[in-house]
Amino acid sequence: MQNLPGVSAMIPNEKLAKGSSNGAALRLVTIDSLDGRTQAAKEARSLRSAVIRDLTGGDDESALSALKLALVDAVAIATVIINDANVRWLKGEPVSLAEITTLSNARRRDAQLLGLERVARDITDLDSYLAAKVINQ
């Protein structure tokens, strides 16, 4: 995926953790660890929140398993990369359609694991439900 901006097929192992005796430890980054000022980070976080709302019917990410949250992150990041590459292609910039297709297929599989249906938010509390039952009888 070397043709997509900011994407490399190689993951450099240049930043070694201080105090590491064998140099094997690396600092891992997540969506939450981004400073959030770049457009890509904003879009990834926004999409992540939207997918969580779709899956839970609200903003409660604790309703999702750790693995589902990891899939949400993967889908959000892949979508931002795909959207960027698609726009660059439309502008006439060179992009690898094979790489976009590969990433799109991976995103589709991850999204299918999450489920593509939106969960409706239950906005009826018990008091309202009981009051409506009494009125309708």
pLDDT in tens, 48-81: 999 999 999 888 899 999 999 999 999 999 999 9
Query: Given this model, what pLDDT does residue 119 score?
Result: 79
Note whether residue 104 is domain-resident: yes
Residue 14 lies in a domain: yes
Q: What's the rounded Cα separation, in Å, for the pair 17 and 71? A: 27
Residue owning tokens 């929140």: 49
Output the pLDDT for position 54: 92
Residue 6's pLDDT is 60
The residue range of the domain holding 89 is 1-121
What pLDDT is stored for residue 90 in this prediction? 95
Asked whether residue 132 is domain-assigned, the answer is no
Asked whether residue 33 is domain-assigned, the answer is yes
Q: Does some domain include residue 134?
A: no
Joined together, the tokens standing for residue 52 give 């969580």
Could you tell me if residue 59 is inside a domain?
A: yes
Three-state helix/strand/coil letters over the chain: CCCCCCCCCCCCCCCCCCCCCCCCCCCCCCHHHCCCCCHHHHHHHHHHHHHHHHHHCCCCHHHCCHHHHHHHHHHHHHHHHHHHHHHHHHCCCCCCHHHHHHHHHHHHHHHHHHCCCCCCCCCCCHHHHHHHHHHHC
Q: Is residue 128 part of a domain?
A: no
- Give the residue ranges of the chain where pLDDT is below 50: 17
Region for 69 from its dihedrals, namely left if φ exceeds 0, alpha if ψ lies in -120 to 50, beta otherwise = alpha
Domains contained in the chain, number: 1
Give domain status of residue 136, yes or no: no
What pLDDT does 17 receive?
47
